[in-house]
Structure 1
């Protein structure tokens, strides 16, 4: 049984072969361009960190304790309050002590009056003894009477001395009671913040009972343990860079204040203290941190991002962007940090250095700015012309280019009557030609 399909014309049968050949001829060969980030060489500071160690933040945190025993009457601060040195924090009941002060003041006044009386008695006794001596010299007074007058004079002198001593004792008692009265007020020992409160009003406290803990966080102390082999690289007053987990991407600069002269025999490490100014109170006691000791610093160095330095066949260098092509330049490296590296020789200030993607480049590779380009994606579409007998247009695809200057993408179609040029794609994109089925034979 014969097939009922319509026979194809010779032109129609030759269409697929012609379209396939056209597709092969239209496929361009272009060099691959790589995306890269480019930056100009600036001047900047670069530092060398020889030692990195974990650390913990510590501060001065004295306790405010009463100097006398008694029942706590009030506490005038709460957790987190900012206090100044000498500010009143709490007060102990002081009514009993005030009454004792009044009694001591009265006893002191009695002692002063006693002194005045004894001074008067002494003056009288002195006058009597002088008169008795005068009469005794004139043989108008017996020896016994003169002896009695001198004894009374000495007794008056002793009474005055006793009254003065008692007055001094009363003054000391009064001073003690006044000092005790002052100690009923608990003051802040430092400038800082209230970090802990252990008692409430009504509790009985003693000199061994802490009431409030005050922390001074204006200057924070980072304590780190340095291994034995790194101790020779650091010294007191060396700069240190501190990073804390609470502020990722930020660093705080400080100086080494103290280095322990003794190593821990179990860990073979020596503790050091790094002091950091904390005027904005961002660092808190107990924060976990990492300390990097800066052993060398060049403030006005020619620097590049560390990821721009590559190793090509055993030679360290950077790629410069010259007319949209990568050119390798060997360089001499100075201080190499985690983020920036110092360049001593090989490039000049203002040169455009490839940063992003430098590790995958080769000398002479064409490059395109990361995130840049002159065009998007282009598509070319051609519509097949309709012939008298009607035929099916072929579809031809062209290669894509993503170069810095871009490439033109064209599509073409071959039909029974001829070819029709497709629309040109945009620069820098990918072009495709979509053929379309023509009209059916009438």
Structure 2
């Protein structure tokens, strides 16, 4: 019975060994078959030829129109507002009367100061005559030195009093002049903060006046485009308020440093607004042409893949996909300039490129 058990055990081991051996022989064949099937499957793509087009290079941005200048007009004296001549939206010219403060007390100050000046001048004249008389007597030794020194002192004091009276008179006249408030610039009243009858103090804000011709156009450009800009460069822009209409300006300020977080440079352009169509606060689609017409290699924007710091496209060679790392330039509508990395006669993948890798088999859809 022991022998029968041993024989049976050996028979089972032989069967198990044969089974494992068959698996070893069969699996590589299966794997090989699987690889061959996968490797033979082509990925469907659509392609478009790399083109040469004649374009004028430009930079695009989004900007905001701002007042050419904004001034807050404040009271420089205190008093009761006698009249206010403008409302919000009033067009004003430089030097136009905006408001008036009651001048009664300031006018009286001027009269008192003028009277004081006349009295000081009369005192000075008397002191000068007395000095001249005593000077002649002193030379003849008919008055003492002390008497002559006294009259000299009185003359000096009288002269100082006249200067003080002149200063007081000038200050009182200046305060009187500040009872009338004028616009410091040509523009529009953006905000009226007071009304007739209000009591204002020195420093009270009365009006905000904005200059609407010219305006400022503020926008940013990327670090890559900074070297393409210069002062005086023409700027073309459009606003949604006037579809199809182009407006123009010129670069007036290139800020001295880039914004660290966004790596962009702030740019300011000066924009004529003679007809008053443009308003501060409007958004603008900005275009700056940075050179003359030139031949440019372009591909559809949809063909470009962005991976971290790399920019890639796929081209088709025979039935295989080939990866090309490229350097891009300006955007022209739905096309992107390729500065480096492509030849003019290549076919670039525009559909299906996200499924590709270097060397995979492709089927170009017709």
TM-score normalized with structure 2 length: 0.63
Partner SS state of residue 290, structure 2: strand
**Alignment partner, residue 113 of structure 2:** 104
What do the CA deviations read for 1:224-248 (whole angstroms, capped 9, x no partner)? Answer: 0212222122222221111111111
RMSD: 2.4
Alignment partner for residue 64 of structure 1, among 64, 73, 94?
A: 73
Q: CA deviation at 1:49?
A: 4.8
Structure 1 stretches (4+) deviating beyond 3 angstroms? 335-339
- Which has the higher relative contact order, 1 or 2, with Cα contacts under 8 A spaced 6 or more apart? 2
Deviations 1:98-138 (Å, cap 9, x if unpaired)? Answer: 1111111001000011011112211221232233x3xxxxx
**1:122–1:160: 8 Å Cα contact kept in structure 2?**
yes
Q: Secondary structure at the match of 2:87?
A: coil
**Structure whose residues are more often helix by fraction:** 2
Question: Contact 2:95–2:185 (CA<8 Å) still a contact in 1?
Answer: yes
Structure 2 residue 151 is matched with structure 1 residue 151: no
| Cα distance in structure 1, aligned partners of 2:101 and 2:137 | 57
Quick one: distance in 2 between partners of 1:91 and 1:237? 42
Is this contact kept in 2: 1:58–1:222, CA < 8 A?
yes
The CA deviation at 1:283 is: 0.8
Residue 150 of structure 1: CA displacement? 2.8
Higher strand share: 2
- Please give the alpha-carbon distance, in whole angstroms, between the structure 1 residues aligned to 2:192 and 2:136: 69
Match of 1:224 among 219, 225, 230: 219
Partner of 1:289: 284
Provide the C-alpha distance between the structure 1 equivalents of 2:64 and 2:76, rounded to a whole number of angstroms: 32
When residues 76 and 129 of structure 1 are mapped into structure 2, their CA distance, relative to the original with a 3 A threshold, is same
Is contact 1:239–1:295 with CA below 8 Å preserved after alignment? no
Question: Could you say what secondary structure the match of 2:205 adopts?
Answer: coil
**Number of the residue aligned with 1:76:** 85
Residue 146 of structure 2 is aligned to residue 160 of structure 1: no
After superposition, the Cα gap between the structure-2 partners of 1:91 and 1:47, relative to the gap in structure 1 and judged at 3 Å, is farther
Does the Cα contact within 8 Å between 2:77 and 2:203 map onto a contact in 1? no
The answer (yes or no) to whether the contact 1:47–1:295 under 8 Å persists in 2 is no
Q: CA shift at 1:87, angstroms?
A: 1.3
TM-aligned CA distance change 1:279 to 1:297, over 3 Å: farther
Structure 1 residues 95 and 210, CA gap change in structure 2 (3 angstroms): same
> 1:53 corresponds to which residue?
61
Question: Which of 161, 164, 169 in structure 1 is aligned with 2:164?
Answer: 169
Q: Secondary structure at the match of 2:134?
A: helix
Question: Contact 1:48/1:337 (CA < 8 Å) preserved in 2?
Answer: no
Q: Does 1:87 align with 2:96?
A: yes
In structure 2, C-alpha distance between the alignment counterparts of 1:112 and 1:119, rounded to whole Å: 10
Task: Indicate conservation of the 8 Å contact 1:260/1:271, yes or no.
Answer: yes
Count the aligned residue pairs.
246
Q: Quick one: structure 1 residues 55 and 49, their matched pair in 2 at CA, closer, same or farther if it must change by over 3 Å?
A: farther
Q: List runs of 5+ in structure 1 lacking aligned partners.
A: 1-45, 134-145, 302-334, 340-442
Question: 8 Å contact 1:224–1:273 — kept in the other structure?
Answer: yes
SS state at 2:156 partner = helix
Contact 2:113 2:168 in 1 (8 A): yes
**Could you list the runs of 5+ residues in structure 2 that have no partner in the other structure?**
1-53, 295-329, 335-366
Larger Rg: 1
Shift of 1:176: 0.4
Is residue 235 of structure 1 aligned with residue 230 of structure 2? yes
